[in-house]
Structure 1
Amino acid sequence: MKLNILGLVEVRLTGAGSMKLGSKTLIYSGEHTHERVVGILFDLTTAKSLGSWCPISDRVVAAKLINKPLNLGIIQLYAPTCNSEDVEVEKFYEEIEKAKGYLKSQDIIIIVGDINAEVGDERVEDVVRPSGVGTVNERGSRLIEWCQINDFTITNTWYQNHSWL
């Protein structure tokens, strides 16, 4: 399988940095422990378009790919689980906002990662479509609200393809 960009969670490195892995380039963002740590892996061709990147936290990293006519912004996430305190969840959403602020409003922004939320299978405006899975939970409601405010779509709910479940 050929992949140009791969979002990663639980990379198990410390701090923030970048490294070459054969013909691939890995950027990662973490703290001083091996917990969480998010990363984005780029193939050789795509890495040549990597203009800049910003480590936000061990849960959020942003990268900008230079392209014409529009640049592409990628935000890799690893959300707190449903057992996490509300204050940690709010901090996480603040970190997403910081990552968005790093990118320009005219950039195409793609957010990927482990969101740890269930958004259900009921249509919600242009955010959630009926191909979602499960029943919406508290974290899912928070995600839907954030997407509505920020004009984002949860695209994996738009296509019936859950054969991996």
Structure 2
Amino acid sequence: MLIYKLQIMGLSKVRRNGFGELRTPRGLTFLYSGKQDEEYCYAPTNLASEEDKEDFYRALKLTLKKIRQQNIVIVMEDLNAKVDTKNNGRQRHMGIHGMGVGNENGAKFLEFCQDNDLTIGGTSFIHGDHHKYTWNSPDGVMKNQIDHLAISSKWRSSLLDVRKRRGANINCDHHLLSRRRGAT
């Protein structure tokens, strides 16, 4: 976080239940929120059942309904969703700078963003694929953009950039995805 001069960083899959706050020796604050006494929910893979996918998006939608309308909503997660570059009629919710070919999860994520007026930040900025893919297979062959940051569409102009940060040591097969925010 300090190396990349990030002021805010969202982490998923940290496996910390409950709600709380931790302070690091360097003065950083780590806020976490999860279900009490349960595992975090994870976005189902593309091979998961339709019922599991519907349950995930239903739970996510219920969570968003609890947020006051004047708040900025940011959804950051490994969504296992590949969105493509075709945004005809969907310009408010995605740009044309996605990576690769979309999948069923990508279509569901885009539909969720449309239903909840969110914009997929990683599709809105021109970058080479090496700054877009957020996951690569253990054998290094497959590279996909499946981790996403979506923001309330009315606040999308506050994003100056969303991209993968190469070289971040996060001990994972996913890469650090960061955003740069403009003045609001």
* TM-score for the superposition, normalised by structure 1: 0.65
Unaligned runs of 5+ in 1: 38-57, 60-77
Number of the residue aligned with 1:152: 118
Q: How far apart, CA to CA, are the structure 2 residues paired with 1:93 and 1:27?
A: 21
Structure 1 residue aligned with 2:60: 96
* Residue of 20, 23, 31 corresponding to 1:21: 23
Distance 1:159 1:87, change over 3 A: same
Distance 1:17 1:108 in 2: 20
The AA in structure 2 aligned to 1:21 is: R
Q: Which residue of 2 aligns with 1:79?
A: 43
- Partners in 1 of 2:14 and 2:102 — Cα distance? 28
Quote how far apart the aligned CAs of 1:104 are. 0.9
2:90 is the counterpart of 1:123: no
Letter paired with 2:80: N
Whether the 8 Å contact between 2:43 and 2:79 is mirrored in structure 1 is yes
CA offsets 1:109-162 (integer angstroms, 9 cap, x no match): 121121110111112422222210111111111111222222221121011223
CA contact (8 A) 2:12 2:76 kept: no
What residue ranges of structure 2 are gaps of 5+ in the alignment?
A: 134-184
Name the count of aligned residue pairs: 123
Deviation, 1:12, is 3.1
Q: Cα deviation per residue 1:36-89 (whole Å; 9 max; x = unaligned)?
A: x5xxxxxxxxxxxxxxxxxxxx13xxxxxxxxxxxxxxxxxx421112222111
Instruction: Provide the alpha-carbon RMSD of the alignment.
Output: 2.0
| Structure 1 Cα separation of the partners of residues 36 and 101 of structure 2 | 33
Give, in whole Å, the separation in 1 of the partners of 2:52 and 2:112: 16
Matched residue SS, 1:8: coil
The 1:29/1:163 distance shift into structure 2, 3 A limit, reads: same
TM-score of the two chains, using structure 2 as the length reference: 0.59
Percentage identity across paired residues of the two chains: 28
